[in-house]
Amino acid sequence: MDEGNELSQFLTSRRAQVTPEQAGLRTFGRRQVPGLRREEVAAVAGVSVGYYKRLERGDATGVSDGVLDAVADALLLDDAERAHLFDLARAAGPAIAKRRPRASAQQIRPVMQRVVDSIGSPASVGNLRGDSIYANALGRALYAPMFDSREQPPNAARFTFLDPAAQQFFPDWEKNAKDLVAALRSEAGRNPYDRALTDLIGELSTRSEPFRKWWAAHNVRTHDTGRKRLHHPTVGDLELDYEVMQLAADNGLLLAVFSAEPGSRSAQALDLLASWTATPESASSTPHETPS
């Protein structure tokens, strides 16, 4: 990816979303562009017009954290967008090494595998690209459509955008898909020379028109906690809360744990799924059909 171009497009896309009224500016007459003009961003940020124009062209040479903070404030960036701006500016600066590191397979440590297996809720370990590294039995059963998909190796974005079954599995498919694109955007800003990530983005861009469209929007977000609705092929509809935690001893790996409200229909469905995974006959297969 062209780091300077990424910075330029991100700033342009954020500027287009801020109205003069939101920025505390008065306007007169008709405006030719959506959002703020470059001159208005510079004025609100307290930098020269030439300096901001150079930054929006993708030249982050010598830019200070103070200037980036001021630009982020002027563009009303949220925490995820602010962090992304800093990542892009660092990547576009002259100090970063312009090379791609070798891709290395990430594996879960045996002690962490035992911890995940001991969790009584669906749990999985993945990386920041959305690759599934490991899941406990209930986690694999919960995400059976992804693990059984012909789109392999298992990856949240690959399944969501390339397997038609994902649109049945995720009732809120569009929201889920946009969140994944935004998370991948954030990761691409943090690690612009990750070859595996670049290859994944290239694959999705080539094979999925919705991915191409939403990738071009330059939206970013964090993906740490929330609620997800699923339609499981065996136990039906589920509404689950999830927490995603970084593993301090395993750089780049995340632990995701799902839970249901006690006594809810979703809790009963998870209990049923757990009972199914505990039977010997089920140990070597995955549920596919919802019982009638």
- Distances from the Cα of 269 to the Cα of 17, 182, 193, 203, angstroms: 42, 30, 42, 35
Residue 39, SS3 per DSSP: helix
pLDDT, average across residues 231-248: 95
Q: What is the pLDDT of residue 94?
A: 65
Q: What is the pLDDT of residue 1?
A: 58
What would be the CATH architecture of the domain defined by 110-282? 2-Layer Sandwich (3.30)
- Distances from the Cα of 1 to the Cα of 6, 185, 213, angstroms: 8, 12, 17
Q: What is the pLDDT of residue 278?
A: 79
pLDDT, average across residues 62-79: 95
- Quickly state the pLDDT bin for 32 (edges 50, 70, 90): confident
Greater confidence (38 vs 105) lies with 38
Q: What is the pLDDT of residue 60?
A: 92
Question: Do residues 178 and 214 make contact, with C-beta atoms less than 8 angstroms apart?
Answer: yes
Nearest residue to 89 via CA among 127, 61, 112:
61
Q: Amino acid identity of 68?
A: L
Residue 226, SS3 per DSSP: strand
| pLDDT of 264 above 90 | yes
Q: What is the pLDDT of residue 292?
A: 33
- Quickly state the pLDDT bin for 290 (edges 50, 70, 90): very low
| pLDDT of 102 above 60 | no
pLDDT tens per residue across span 114-171: 999 999 999 999 999 999 999 999 999 999 999 999 999 999 999 999 999 999 999 9
The lowest-confidence range among 20-29, 65-74, 84-93, 118-127 is 20-29
Output the DSSP codes for 126-160: EETT-BEEEE-HHHHHHTHHHHTSSS-S-BHHHHH
Any idea which residue has 């670049």 for tokens?
198
**Considering the chain, what percentage of its residues have pLDDT values greater than 90?**
77
Output the DSSP codes for 90-107: HHHSSSS--SPPPP----
Q: What is the pLDDT of residue 3?
A: 75
Nearest residue to 231 via CA among 291, 157, 171:
171
| pLDDT of 227 above 90 | yes
| pLDDT of 96 above 60 | no
The answer to whether the Cα torsion of 138, 141, 144, 148 is positive or negative is positive
- Distances from the Cα of 32 to the Cα of 16, 35, 141, 148, angstroms: 12, 10, 54, 51
Q: What is the pLDDT of residue 97?
A: 43
Nearest residue to 218 via CA among 19, 4, 12, 1:
12
Nearest residue to 42 via CA among 27, 29, 25:
25
Q: What is the pLDDT of residue 286?
A: 45
What is the token pair recorded at 148? 């059984």
pLDDT tens per residue across span 160-187: 999 999 999 999 999 999 999 999 999 9
Strand partners, 241: 227, 259
Greater confidence (164 vs 276) lies with 164
| pLDDT of 18 above 60 | yes
Distance of CA 49 to the CA centre of its chain: 33
| pLDDT of 34 above 90 | no
Domains of the chain, residue spans:
3-92, 110-282
Question: Do residues 85 and 3 make contact, with C-beta atoms less than 8 angstroms apart?
Answer: no
What is the token pair recorded at 112? 């962490």
What is the C-alpha separation between 208 and 251, in angstroms, rounded? 30
Classify domain 3-92 at the CATH class level. mainly alpha
Q: What angle do CA 156, 209, 177 make, to 5 degrees?
A: 30
Q: What is the pLDDT of residue 280?
A: 56
- Quickly state the pLDDT bin for 67 (edges 50, 70, 90): very high
| pLDDT of 234 above 50 | yes
Average pLDDT, the chain: 89
Strand partners, 132: 126
What is the C-alpha separation between 58 and 91, in angstroms, rounded? 10
